[in-house]
Every structure is written in C-alpha cells, then in structure tokens.
Amino acid sequence: MPASARVAAGQAMKLLKSTAIVSAMTMLSRVLGFVRDQVIAQNFGASAATDAFFVAFKIPNFMRRLFAEGSFSLAFVPVLAEYKAKADHAALRDFIDRVCGTLAGILLAVVGLGILLAPGVVAVFAPGFLDRPDKFQLTVGLLGITFPYILLISLAGFAGGILNSYSRFALPALSPVLLNLAMIAAAVWAAPWFEEPVEALAWGVLLGGLLQLLMQLPGLMRLGLMPRPRWGWASEGVRKILKLMIPTLFGSSVAQINLLIDTIIASFLISGSVTWLYYTDRLLEFPLGIFGVALGTVILPHLSARHAEQDPAGYTRSIDWGLRFGFFLAVPAMLYLIVLAQPMYWTLFGYQRFTAEDVQMSALSLVTLTLGLPAFVAVKILAPAFYARQDTATPVKAGIISMVSNMGLNAIFVGVWVYADWPGAHAGLALASAISGWLNAGLLAWWLRQQGIWQPQAELMRFVGKATLAGVAMSLALMYGLNVAPDWSAQGAGGRVMALSALIALGGLTYLAALLTLGWRPAHLLDRH
C-alpha cells in the first residue's frame, strides 16, 4: 500500500474510532432520553401543562445549542487548535482562563435578563399562549426555573470542547446521561410533592445542567487545564472567538431557529401540537445525535488540525469520509423512522395517558420531518468544513436562505392543511423544516466545491447510488413485515418490543445484504476501495 494510502487509512481509522466512542456514549444517553420521555408521556400525557413545560425547556435548550454545542463551540475549537499548534502551555492556559471568565460573565448577564424578562420571552416564542392566561403564566414560571440551565450547560460545553480537542470524547458525550437521570427522578419521585407536578421537571432540568458541568471537571484536571476564570474581553484570542461567533450565532443554529418558528406557529394550533412536535424531534434526534452529532463533534477538531497543519489533501479526504459514513447510517435510519413511525410510538410511548391520537399525530409529523434526516446529517459535516477554516460567513448565507425558505413553506403548508381541514397541521411545519434542511445542505456542498475546498471522490457518488438501491430493498422488506405484524394497539409492552425488534433486524439485515450484493465492503469506510 502506498504511503499516502496508509496515511489516509490511518486518519480514517482514527476518525472511525473516535466516532464510535462518541456514538456509543450518545446511544446510552439517548436510550435514557427515551426512558425519560416515556416516563413523561405516561405521567403527564399531552396537555396544556406539558406544552408549557416543553416551551420553557425549548427556549434555554435553544440557547444551549448556540452557546454550548453551536456557535461558541464552532468558534472556540478552531482557535484552540491554533493555540495548541503554535503557543506554549502558559499561553494556552491563559487563553482558556480568559475564555472561561468572559463566557461565564456574558452568560450570567443573559440569565439575569432572561429571568427578568421571562413574560416577554414567552410572548415571543409562544404567542399563542397569550390567549390562555393560565398556560402562559405556567410557562413563565417554569422558564424562571429552567433559564439558568443555559449558564451551566454552556460551561459544560466549553469544558467538553477542550476535552474533544485532546481526543477525550467519552466524558462530554456521556454527560447528558445525568440530565436524563435527573429528569426521570423529578418525574417519578418529585412530581407528587408539587402543587403543579410539571414544575418538578423544570427543577430536574436545572439539576441536570449542574451535574453535567461537574462531570467534565475531572477530565480538565487530568489535562492540567482546569480553568481559573478571568475576564478577558481585550484578549486577542477571546476577541477572535467573539468575532467568529457573531455570524455563527445564526449560521450554526438554523435548524434550532426553524424548530422554534415551528413552536411559535404550533402554539396557535390545537392543544397537544407543541407536545407532538416535541416527541417528533425526540425520535429524529436519536439517530441524528448518535451518528450525525457524533460525526460533527469528531470532525471539527480533526478538520481544524488539518487546516492548522496545512494539509488540504487530508482535509478533503476527511470531508468525503464523513459524508460517506454519514449516508451509510442516515439512509436506513430515515427508512426506519418513516416506515415504522407508528409502531415506534406505540412501543415507546403508547401507554396510559399517551393516547392513540397522540401516537397518530406524532407519527404524522415524524414521517414528514424525517425526509430531511440525510440533509441534517450532511450539514453536521459540511458546516464544520467551513468553521474549521474560520470561515463563518458562508454557512450564514446558507442559513439565511434556508430559514427564509422555511418560514415561507411553513405559511404555505400550514395554510393548506388548515384550509383543507386536514388533521395534523403541525406535520406541515415538519415538512417545511425537512425541505429547508435539504436546501441548507445543498448550498453548503455547492459552495465547498466552488471554493475548491472539497472535490468529492467518485466513490462517494457510487456509494450514494448503492445506498439508495439498498434502501429500496430495505423499505420493501419492512412493508412486508408490517403486513404480517400484529395490531400494535392491542399488544402489551413485551409484544410490541419483540415485534419492533424483529422488524428492525429484518430491515438492517436486508440493507446490509443488499449493499454487499452491490459490491460494498466494510473496508471502504477506511478509504480502502
């Protein structure tokens, strides 16, 4: 094997191992997330109270995506890679100290303003609640509890960014487990102690954020990089991060902004719409988190290092590998969620207060939103390809176009749904998000090629064709399995789990068998093709 091929295979193996670690930790977290959602669904159902909580949770969670996993991380990690490559340890520590102090100071101000202006924030994000005073006031009260979560989880994201840059992926990926455990405990044991039981969930969110931050600290101590927060507004490194963050505040959060727009519109629809969209997002986030977010988490520091080392060949190979691996997993995941939407909801949530209507309405929006899953995964790889080069302007342009299109499509689809008096107008919101996701991914890919950053290898296009054909075979197998499966609503939990597991196994084996028949081999994931 030529030396260049060995290097490429080695880099691919390193990326694959890192992605596997993050994916495994994320899977554990997401499984517990489903347990959490099952507990919430069974104990609270889909009601005005759950609508209030999910809005109060969505607002700080949106800002978490900005400060923890989104804008801040995308700006911080490339600059940190520069300091690692070019500065000594003392300068690196000073940089980390000043970033930590400045981030904490800004977030404390944001939290204070958020709590003070909570009624206005709720009015902006859920204006449909204004006509329902009890629902509105409950949301305001819950938001006052959940808003400090932004500070805690953003600092946890800061610590995780440092650990990821040193290829310490396990702790940051595992920490969300603690949020899920805290919310489960709140729903099961704490809720009966509150006059409004759903308030316990808000306190569970706050406790979960604190635990996630504390979990990161031992890893920083072992690296000798435990921050000593210092205000650093005038620091060159901090100012560079802030400069990069301004555009990424928007560009990295397009999907979240789209979801919030959906929430605003859903607040005007029938009660339960916000909750149905929440459970739709939760099921989609399972595969997206396991491998989409995992790929993005791993590839950003890797691409940043390739850029800092001036390795353009390694840079483009890494992008290509990420897309190939992403589509390898996204295609079957998309088909599972579309074809098995109702069986999944019956199996995971269809008990006690989560009714047959809740199953049907949640499944309807899941089908439409999941059409965009491959695009959402692609964005997790393509956007870091710009951020690693400290180009924040290009993803912003794609984001603006995507968000504007989403708003227009929201108006069209919901309008058609309501005018035609079809049930499930919230599904129109999900469909708009899927289409805008494809637009975002398409623009990013086009501009990467136009700028000469990435020239896709022929193997990528061949694999997309093979994955599509294998997906057709998988879909036919799943539809056959559904025809012989029992009535899901009539089955107990054990029967549902067994039947769903059998269908998942049937689909997965069919997909892999079809790929192997078409000439694909596992070694292709290591660039050995």
The string of pLDDT tens digits covering residues 404-454 is 899 899 989 988 888 888 888 888 888 998 999 999 999 999 999 988 888
Question: Comparing C-alpha atoms, which of 507, 508, 486 is closest to residue 497?
Answer: 486
Residue with tokens 């902006």: 124
Q: Is residue 523 one of the residues assigned to a domain?
A: no
How many Cα atoms sit within 13 Å of 186 on the Cβ side? 24
Please give the pLDDT value at position 255: 58
Please give the pLDDT value at position 340: 94
Query: Quick one: 387 and 362 in the same domain?
Result: yes
Please give the pLDDT value at position 452: 83
Structure tokens at 227: 């921050």
Q: Using an 8 Å Cβ cutoff, are 191 and 169 in contact?
A: no
Query: Quick one: 194 and 294 in the same domain?
Result: no
- Please tell me which of 19-28, 49-58, 73-82, 239-248 the model is most confident about, judged by mean pLDDT: 49-58
Q: Which residue has the higher pLDDT, 117 or 270?
A: 117
Q: Where is the domain boundary, 436, 456, 476?
A: 456
pTM: 0.71
Query: Quick one: 10 and 59 in the same domain?
Result: no
Query: Quick one: 430 and 452 in the same domain?
Result: yes
Query: Quick one: 286 and 406 in the same domain?
Result: yes
Query: Quick one: 2 and 93 in the same domain?
Result: no
Structure tokens at 265: 């519109």
pLDDT band at 528 (very low <50, low <70, confident <90, very high): very low
pLDDT band at 26 (very low <50, low <70, confident <90, very high): confident
Residue 395 has pLDDT above 90, yes or no: no
Q: Is residue 501 one of the residues assigned to a domain?
A: no
Q: Is residue 513 one of the residues assigned to a domain?
A: no
Structure tokens at 228: 């000593």
Using one digit for the tens of pLDDT, what is the confidence trace for 444-491? 999 999 888 888 887 888 888 999 999 999 999 999 999 888 788 888
Residue 516 has pLDDT above 90, yes or no: yes
Structure tokens at 50: 């759950």
Spatial distance between the Cα atoms of 341 and 358, rounded to a whole number of angstroms: 12
Query: Quick one: 299 and 220 in the same domain?
Result: no
Q: Is residue 274 one of the residues assigned to a domain?
A: yes
Query: Quick one: 371 and 411 in the same domain?
Result: yes
% of the chain at pLDDT higher than 70: 92
Q: Is residue 411 one of the residues assigned to a domain?
A: yes
Q: Is residue 40 one of the residues assigned to a domain?
A: no
Spatial distance between the Cα atoms of 98 and 194, rounded to a whole number of angstroms: 41
How many independent structural domains does the chain possess?
2
Spatial distance between the Cα atoms of 292 and 23, rounded to a whole number of angstroms: 9
Query: Quick one: 191 and 304 in the same domain?
Result: no
Query: Quick one: 182 and 310 in the same domain?
Result: no
Q: Is residue 116 one of the residues assigned to a domain?
A: yes
Q: Where is the domain boundary, 228, 249, 270?
A: 249
Q: Where is the domain boundary, 456, 477, 497?
A: 456
Residue 250 has pLDDT above 80, yes or no: no
Q: Is residue 225 one of the residues assigned to a domain?
A: yes
Q: Which domain holds residue 228?
A: 45-249
Using one digit for the tens of pLDDT, what is the confidence trace for 350-388? 777 778 888 889 899 999 999 999 999 999 889 888 888
Spatial distance between the Cα atoms of 200 and 126, rounded to a whole number of angstroms: 21
Helix axes 48-64, 133-146, angle to 10 degrees: 40
Element (H, E) at 43: helix 3-44
Q: What is the mean pLDDT of the chain?
A: 84
How many Cα atoms sit within 13 Å of 484 on the Cβ side? 8
Query: Quick one: 204 and 282 in the same domain?
Result: no
**CA 110 to each of CA 67, 106, 211, 255: distance values in angstroms, whole numbers, following the listed order:** 11, 6, 21, 22
Query: Quick one: 243 and 263 in the same domain?
Result: no
Which value, in Å, is the radius of gyration of the alpha carbons in the chain?
A: 23
% of the chain at pLDDT higher than 90: 33
End-to-end CA distance of the chain: 12
Q: Which residue has the higher pLDDT, 393 or 366?
A: 366
The torsion angle over the Cα atoms of residues 265, 184, 286 and 487, rounded to 10 degrees, is -90
**Contacts with 111 (C-beta within 8 Å, 6 or more apart), sequence order:** 147, 148, 150, 151
Rounded to 5 degrees, φ, ψ at 75 are: -90, -35
Which amino acid would we find at residue 252? S
Spatial distance between the Cα atoms of 64 and 60, rounded to a whole number of angstroms: 6
